Amino acid sequence: MTKVIVFDTTMRDGELMPGVKMNLQQKITMSQLLEAMGVDIIEVAYPGNSQKDFDEVFNISKIIKNATICGLASSQKNEIISVAEAIKPAARGRIHTYTPVNIKNQSKLGEVQVLSTIKDSVSLARNYCDDVEWSAFDAPRSQADFLCKAIETAIKSGANTISIPDSLGLSSPAEFSQLLQMIFNCVPNIDQAIVSVHCHDDLGMAVDNSLIALNCGVRQIECAINGLGARKGNADLAKVVMGVLNQGNYQIDIDTELINQASELISQITGVEKGN
């Protein structure tokens, strides 16, 4: 059976929810539970953003042995290096970098500059780490031909995982499915990378969009405990996992008996009740 990779961003994107802040000890406890659950990738923080974030990634990298520890960076050199330094102690580390690809009002020169930025940033990340994920920020609102060029460039530059985020949470399942099918059909080297999705829940479609993505060839889903995340949140990990299991034709290495414990822990840490 085809394995679905579970990428948890509760501690990174979850902190973008107003009023949600987690300290180092809380994140360590959370990371250990996520590892026990069988989560494949744990995105801890944004090391280039603050010393707090850097310290969280660095310290958790020393503790977690089975899951991959991930930090987020923009395309800026100093942010990528910051993630590389923070994940140094990790048994398994990943640099996750993103570039905005919605450049509809820019000139051809603008396109060339963005492609050059993708090439430079992904190559730099790959020099530091064998596991690099690149996200096409705001992919649904970008021009199709440019999006495909951007993805092709990221893969050529060393990205092993390509994430297609519904950054504003505005896509319907039909629209998101169409976007993903176009990417799989039009990017010549797409089979050289794992394709991931990161869906926001502004229209309540994050879980549906994540699950429909599997039919298009997506193999990693980015989600959060209790759907925590910016604005209306991310795809809820529990709903994603149960949805994948219900489809019956995918392998997912999550211990479902620990999901409620994780949900309760996050509610306790953040004060945000499940479903809010």
Residue 60 placed within a domain: yes
Q: Please give the model's pTM, rounded to 2 decimal places.
A: 0.96
HSE-up (13 A, CA, CB side) for residue 191: 2
Structural domain contains residue 275: no
Task: Report yes or no on 105 lying in a domain.
Answer: yes
Total domain count, the chain = 1
Specify if 276 maps to a domain. no
Write the DSSP symbol of residue 227: G
Asked whether residue 168 is assigned to any structural domain, the reply reads yes
Percent with pLDDT over 70 in the chain: 97
What confidence score (pLDDT) does residue 275 get?
60
> Would the CA dihedral through 18, 22, 23, 24 be positive or negative?
negative
d(CA 128, CA 123): 9
- Within-domain flag for 189: yes
Q: Which domain holds residue 81?
A: 2-270
pLDDT, tens only, 199-212:
999 999 999 999 99
Q: What is the mean pLDDT of residues 125-129?
A: 99
Percentage of residues of the chain with pLDDT beyond 90? 93
Asked if residue 230 belongs to a domain, the reply is yes
**Is residue 163 predicted with pLDDT exceeding 70?**
yes
Note every long-range contact of 254-263, with CB atoms under 8 Å and residues 24 or more positions apart, other chains counting. Answer: 254/6, 254/37, 254/38, 254/39, 255/36, 255/37, 255/38, 258/33, 258/36, 258/37, 259/37, 261/33, 262/30, 262/33, 262/34, 262/37, 262/225, 262/237, 263/225, 263/226, 263/238
Residue-wise pLDDT tens digits, 22-69: 999 999 999 999 999 999 999 999 999 999 999 999 999 999 999 999
CATH number of the domain that 141 lies in? 3.20.20.70
Is the pLDDT at 114 greater than 80? The verdict is: yes
Choose the weakest-confidence range: 96-105, 152-161, 231-240.
96-105
Cα separation of 32 and 107, whole Å? 47
Residue 104, number of CB atoms within 10 A of its CB: 9
Q: Is position 249 within any domain?
A: yes
